[in-house]
A = this chain, B = another copy of it.
């Protein structure tokens, strides 16, 4: 009988107390005598009482659930972030609801609205590749709905953000490739508008500069949908193949594996001549062929930090005005 559906009234009746007393006792209120508390607790324990979270939510205007919006859960980076988020949410008794945009701005908006109207207490989100208008998010925040951004963050909205040091990561990647002797280093990245694209591109340019290499726009390729849509990746890989690049820095999990796939299938000779470094949190890079150098983001930690900030904001007495931007270091995992 591990699962029954008793209510506070049942306990009150059984113990000859009022429902409010039981409620207070269960919540360990200072107003209740130690004796009564013990009595109530013991009985609740005995019948395996579980408070009805829905009733509580209705009363408290709080659902104890938070929403996560990412482009794909089938992405190593995001699934690791989610693990991090869950680890803190679970400890603080928040339920977590995940939804995916598949890089569509429209689905993002639908998901936000859905999660908001379904009474989640706040949102953790990484913007979709397609997103340009974030004003509705700002409206929501202005109404007091907490949103914490991670990874792909909006430029303009005042909010907590948790990101990796993308610029440094990009720099490190290029530095590594240059050291290995590459002189024509290409860059394959996601949508122009994304914060991560901009930051990593900046790091890329810095890296080139530091090694006396020039920036050639023909070597910088964007995929509007992060390589998620059929064809866009093949297109830019084909364009790159026309150039004389000898190294490439790739910005993101999907792009990195996608690039390898296309190259293996269509350019199996050419690929041997290029050194590859990419942002990826895949746990199986060591079995990839050709071997690559991985730039890792501290995904789990990022999720933890973001969740902590969100819950803190949710539980804050007053509107948060003092927003934080947490920047976490990347690490470079050189190919063996």
With A55-B58, A100-B86 as contacts: A287 and B286 at CB distance below 8 Å:
no
| A302 smallest CB distance to B (angstroms) | 15
Complex contacts, A63 vs chain B, CB 8 Å = 54
Residues of B within 8 A of A136 (CB): 2-3
Distance (Å) between the CB of A90 and the closest chain B CB?
Answer: 8
| A2-B139, A97-B97 known; A53-B118 Cβ under 8 A | yes
Asked if A119 contacts B52 (CB within 8 A), the reply is yes
- Count contacts on A: residues with CB < 8 A to the other chain: 46
Q: By the criterion CB–CB under 8 Å, are B3 and A116 in contact?
A: yes
Chain B residue numbers with a CB within 8 Å of A74 are 76, 79-80, 83, 283
Contacts of A183 in B (CB 8 A): none
How many copies the complex holds: the figure is 2
Chain B residues with CB under 8 A of A80: 74
A3, A76, A143 pick with most chain B CB within 10 angstroms: A3
CB within 8 Å of B: which of A256-295? 257, 260-261, 264-265, 283-284, 286-289
B73 contacts A82, CB within 8 Å? yes
A139 cross-chain contacts in B, Cβ below 8 A: 1-3
**Once bound together, how far apart are the Cα atoms of A140 and B3, in whole Å?**
7
Question: In the docked arrangement, what's the CA distance between A119 and B143, Å?
Answer: 28
Chain A 47-89 per-residue mask, 1 if CB under 8 angstroms from chain B, else 0: 0001011110110000100000000011010011011001000
A interface with B by C-beta (< 8 Å)? 1-3, 50, 52-55, 57-58, 63, 73-74, 76, 79-80, 82-83, 86, 95-100, 113, 116-119, 136, 139-140, 143, 145, 257, 260-261, 264-265, 283-284, 286-289
| Known interface pairs A74-B80, A74-B283, A261-B287; 17 further A-B residue pairs with C-beta atoms within 8 A, sorted by A's residue number | A1-B139, A2-B139, A3-B113, A50-B117, A54-B63, A55-B58, A73-B73, A73-B82, A86-B99, A95-B97, A95-B118, A96-B97, A257-B284, A257-B287, A265-B286, A288-B288, A289-B289
